[in-house]
Structure 1
């Protein structure tokens, strides 16, 4: 049997929650039956997941970044892409703002279209207003509506929650089981032993609210001078965050670690995980932190659907940073529980979700035959 190739449409293949979730599913899906190809915005530097995608048998195609001014040229390139690849039967679109620019052309080439929502609120500004206009017809034009949660689907597509199929932001639970040897090794890489390590994982963008996180750490460091903050991720705000850390005189205490393929091992080194986002869908880092058995303080703007343990403590980001700081010592755990079974029971195991997605693709194709 020749594997069916599904086109996954994203803005990028660098690390991000959406990209990490898709890669978790890609590693675990039966690739003898289903193969993924990817279309992303073009650039010269390699993507974070590029080598892994190719090793798994996937192909990467690029399009110019849509700017509005290049509307005709962009659609010409999309049409050309579909024309050159009749082997695709389904296009699974994850970048909500560009979805409508693809759907009608995909249909023209007899592709089944899936629109997938990954967030449940957004900023209120001109750019997001335009994106909302672009998203408005999706509910009538896409063949299927998927989302990370019912709330995200209802928000992005402006439909009743029951009209959306939820595909959970799943992970590989076995990677997160607490391991004392990994903890010691990762701490040794930083030249640390018994310090209190606070951690955060996320793309460095405004919605992740890491500027507030630096303020929280400043307040906590005043209470515990043997504390360290590790930040895992890259993004456009990195330099601004580094400047703020420098202004506070905390360069030795805040470590910018970037992202590597074994980034999940850093959860072992942490003592408390902080996640003060302005908005999210069902954030994968909070699933990961729970899988690692970490106590968590998270923004109360995040959906409670993410809370699958007793480890998350929601706190308003309207509070003074000192209020977050005061919670930290109370959450420290001497023992880290193995949460893998709980992740599986809650439906966040990538093996199960990958099988669900595979079955879903086959069901869709059967309906259309």
Structure 2
């Protein structure tokens, strides 16, 4: 059995973490076992911790490199020296080269760089650009395998190096089984049955751009008063977003639901899924929304590979809020499953990753 150490940073309900858990559930655990490295800042974010332990995985907590890089280097180096890992699988975008460098110097032969985003979200000043170049060099020279969730995600991080596309696998069956009643869920959330509902799922952080979405919704509600917005996720901007909701006077029509484990149910009560992120690789929630049969309106900063069904619209963040509203309100509010979406089933992804994990180094 091969043990795979995932450099993840945290194991909350984010897209990259949820993808890895989908993969973990489906992969042959007689042949592969997953362990996860997280930062001490997020040790109490334990959405998946119990399940990981039940599946046979371990969770290792180390210092956050943003706060104490020397302590991080010491702790990770000691971990890799003391424990036996066959594969290092890095999902950290900015600074992942450090992880793979440490893995190489500790004798781990297979070292995977996995890009989940189209940019790192850091500033573009001179110091950061120099650091970015150094970290990119570390990544490109210490990885043995290069994986990406989309073409844009791979091209941005790997700078001309060849890479493989590995789909953000989801369990399509979760969205096919209508084991819940749309009416019951709306009643539970205090939303009228005939209301128009748009939704967004993501961490409450700058990248996800929920402040912009609130402005869009404030414009929408002027035209369609029976509209409601679901914000699903948690993050450091929660208080700011709550204040903005009050300032816009839309608190009666916004539901901030925090992190949830009933995503298929919540998607089922939406009419349109809206995502104005500043950047994304290939967001798993976009696939989930399409699997649920929803129309999608996405910022054009999001990877075009996200569109695997017909009713997905991309719009510029430079457009007016009214233009966003026009796109959101345009019929139809349904979407159909396609063969391309079927290829994102996690069973396919698990088979693909098993082959990559088993691939002989001589074939690389």
With the shorter chain as reference, the TM-score category is over 0.9
Question: With structure 2 as the length reference, what TM-score do the two structures score?
Answer: 0.92
Match of 1:208 in 2: 208
Match of 1:359 in 2: 355
Q: How does 1:239-250 map to 2 (within 5 A)?
A: 239-250=239-250
Contact 1:178 1:293 (C-alpha < 8 Å) held by counterparts: no
**Deviation of residue 242 (structure 1)?**
1.0
Quote the offset at 1:159 in angstroms: 2.1
Residue 154 of structure 2 is matched in structure 1 by: 153
Q: Does residue 66 of the first structure (1) align with residue 62 of the second (2)?
A: no
| Deviation, structure 1 residue 73 | 2.2
RMSD across aligned positions (CA): 2.0
Q: Deviations over 1:167-194 (max 9, x none)?
A: 1111111111273843223212102222
Counterpart residue number, 1:23:
21
Query: Residues 24-103 of structure 1: matches in 2 within 5 Å?
Result: 24-43=22-41, 44-67=43-66, 70-86=68-84, 88-103=85-100
Answer with 227-236 or 359-368: which moved more: 359-368
Size of the alignment, in residue pairs? Answer: 358
**Whole-Å Cα distance in 2 between the matches of residues 225 and 61 of structure 1?**
49
CA shift digits 1:122-162 (9 cap, x unpaired): 444348533453223311221111111232122112124xx
What do residues 187-235 of structure 1 show as CA deviations (whole Å, max 9, x unaligned)?
Answer: 1210222211111111111111111100000000011111100011111
Q: Structure 2 stretches of 5 or more lacking a match?
A: none
Distance, in Å, in 2 between the alignment partners of 1:314 and 1:83 is 47
Q: Distance in 1 between matches of 2:313 and 2:335?
A: 16
Residue equivalent to 1:168: 167
2:124 paired with 1:125: yes
Q: Which structure 1 residue ranges, 5 or more long, are not aligned?
A: none
The CA deviation string for residues 262-312 of structure 1, in whole angstroms up to 9 with x for no partner, is 223211010111011111111111111111110111111222211111110
1:113 to 111, 127, 150: 111
Distance 2:160 2:329 in 1: 43
Cα distance change, pair 264–180 in 1 and its aligned pair in 2 (3 A): closer
Match of 2:226 in 1: 226
User: Given that residues 136 and 157 in structure 1 are in contact (C-alpha distance below 8 angstroms), is that contact kept between their aligned partners in structure 2?
Assistant: no
8 Å CA contact 2:7, 2:99 repeated in 1 = no
Verify the 8 A CA contact 1:136 1:158 in the aligned structure 2. no
TM-score (norm 1): 0.91
